[in-house]
């Protein structure tokens, strides 16, 4: 059985007036199971020179499941962002250096994950999908 573990650590010396130190770890498992995820797309990158939306993951191409998505905006220009959309609903924006890790249930052909760059100059997004199949 594959074992993949995700860890996040948050720390700040001055965010709350006191020191902040949070850390949590989770084993990535298939839905309704303790079995680990066994498939991974690998880490990829797409460079966009257009503000037109691009389908990064097609909901119709993946079975229903407890998939996990990783996205990172590699830009170093503070004003550049990628808009992230799932099923035609804006999830949020990833500004320069921002990243996201979230669950995705591809239970319909409309549950696509789309990205749109904020500018027409070259911007790169890094992405990966941990697949529950």
Q: Kindly state whether residue 31 falls inside one of the protein's structural domains.
A: no
As for how many domains the chain has, the answer is 1
Domain boundaries, position 122: 39-131
Q: What is the pLDDT of residue 93?
A: 98
Q: Kindly state whether residue 13 falls inside one of the protein's structural domains.
A: no
Please name every residue paired with 85 in a beta bridge, in sequence order, or none if there are none.
Answer: 90, 114
- With a pLDDT cut of 70, the percent of the chain lying above it is 99
- Domain with 77 in it: what CATH number? 2.60.120.10
Q: Kindly state whether residue 91 falls inside one of the protein's structural domains.
A: yes
How many other C-beta atoms are found inside a 10 Å radius of the C-beta of residue 35?
A: 13
Q: Kindly state whether residue 49 falls inside one of the protein's structural domains.
A: yes
Q: Kindly state whether residue 2 falls inside one of the protein's structural domains.
A: no
Q: What is the pLDDT of residues 64-89, one digit of tens each?
A: 888 999 999 999 999 999 999 999 89
């Amino acid at each position: 059985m594959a074992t993949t573990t995700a860890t996040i650590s948050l720390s700040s010396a001055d965010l709350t007036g006191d020191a902040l130190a949070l850390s949590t770890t989770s084993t990535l498992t298939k839905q309704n199971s303790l079995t680990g995820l066994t498939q991974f797309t690998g880490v990829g990158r797409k460079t966009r020179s257009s503000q037109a939306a691009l389908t990064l993951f097609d909901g119709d191409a993946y079975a229903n499941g407890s998939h996990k998505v990783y996205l990172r905006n590699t830009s170093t220009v503070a004003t550049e962002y990628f808009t992230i959309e799932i099923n035609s609903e804006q999830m949020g924006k990833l500004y320069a250096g921002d990243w996201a890790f979230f669950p995705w249930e591809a239970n319909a052909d409309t549950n696509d994950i789309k990205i749109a760059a904020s500018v027409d100059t070259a911007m790169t997004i890094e992405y990966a999908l941990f697949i529950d199949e």
